[in-house]
Structure 1
């Protein structure tokens, strides 16, 4: 189980690193003025939008802009905390990982439901978004995993202290 946990942590570390970089530089262009960003980043996002025909990024529906704000104000700081926690083996990593995973999973279910329900998303676009749902679920499971396995190994409850009689 230790090797599998290390592998999951490595995958999540790469995911958190990606989010730490992409969220403020690329995703933030959805809800902030483009004049705040260097032209090369704006062109990169425009190329992505055309190449994958990402209609959510192009059209900026209100629910999607709200989810990007959620990512920037809530998920992005948690991704930074999780990076730090993985590197330094902090005991609160399980909690922040669980919170992050639940938030990402909820956001991705809303986005993917819209894409599949509207029938506007190509298979190519779905292959961009779907892995983020999987990584959100993985983060959520990682947060739950060690919480559940923290029971004592003997299976016995600790003995209660008895009061002395006078």
Structure 2
């Protein structure tokens, strides 16, 4: 619904969108939408290079990954050891959900209450897979590593800053799905369901 409102001495009208209660997009919906939307190209064009033959990727994307690995000293993404590759397989399993979640959060959690359970499953799974990466970055001895690797605490923390959002945001997704009232059915929704059952 659109209404007009006057502002200032000129009383020139401007158009303002009035959103009904229960349909307004939350700040977290925006954050989660951006997270899933940006995760799609990152996974498809960068992360999956560690899983599939490089002949399937343009040289520009291969060069981008190599630049990142050199600049931020990420040895895991360079060679993709077996344990790290297994986590990329997990990401491949999650990949179709990125599109579903991006759509759902674009519409808003209040309109897509069905997101609750898959978000709990997704967030719990991703946070768990990030645990070994975080531990490796913080605790592994890179002193004998031949590939570009963190040389001090600052470089470890810098590398960790690229991975930490994929731990923190999934945790936030789980907490939001469990505790937010956005996923709960209002009394009006319950009344409508009850009316349909009677009919």
Which structure has the larger Rg over C-alpha atoms? 2
Q: CA deviation at 1:137?
A: 0.6
TM-score, normalised to structure 2's length? 0.68
Q: In structure 2, what is the Cα distance between the partners aligned to 1:9 and 1:152?
A: 19
**Can you give the 5+ residue segments of structure 1 that lack an aligned partner in the other structure?**
154-166
When residues 12 and 148 of structure 1 are mapped into structure 2, their CA distance, relative to the original with a 3 A threshold, is: closer
Q: In structure 2, what is the Cα distance between the partners aligned to 1:79 and 1:144?
A: 19
Q: Name 2:19's counterpart in structure 1.
A: none
Residue 75 of structure 1 contacts residue 103 of structure 1 at CA under 8 Å; is this kept in 2?
no
Residue 120 of structure 2 contacts residue 178 of structure 2 at CA under 8 Å; is this kept in 1?
yes
Give 1 or 2: higher helix fraction.
1
Q: Residues 26-65 of structure 1 correspond to what in structure 2 (within 5 A)? A: 26-65=46-85
Residue 12 of structure 1 contacts residue 139 of structure 1 at CA under 8 Å; is this kept in 2?
yes
Alignment RMSD: 2.5
Give 1 or 2: higher strand fraction.
2
Secondary structure of 2:102's counterpart equals helix
Q: Name 1:23's counterpart in structure 2.
A: 43
**Can you give the 5+ residue segments of structure 2 that lack an aligned partner in the other structure?**
1-21, 143-149, 151-155, 188-199
Q: Name 1:127's counterpart in structure 2.
A: 161
Q: Name 1:136's counterpart in structure 2.
A: 170
Q: In structure 2, what is the Cα distance between the partners aligned to 1:60 and 1:101?
A: 23
Q: In structure 1, what is the Cα distance between the partners aligned to 2:186 and 2:66?
A: 54
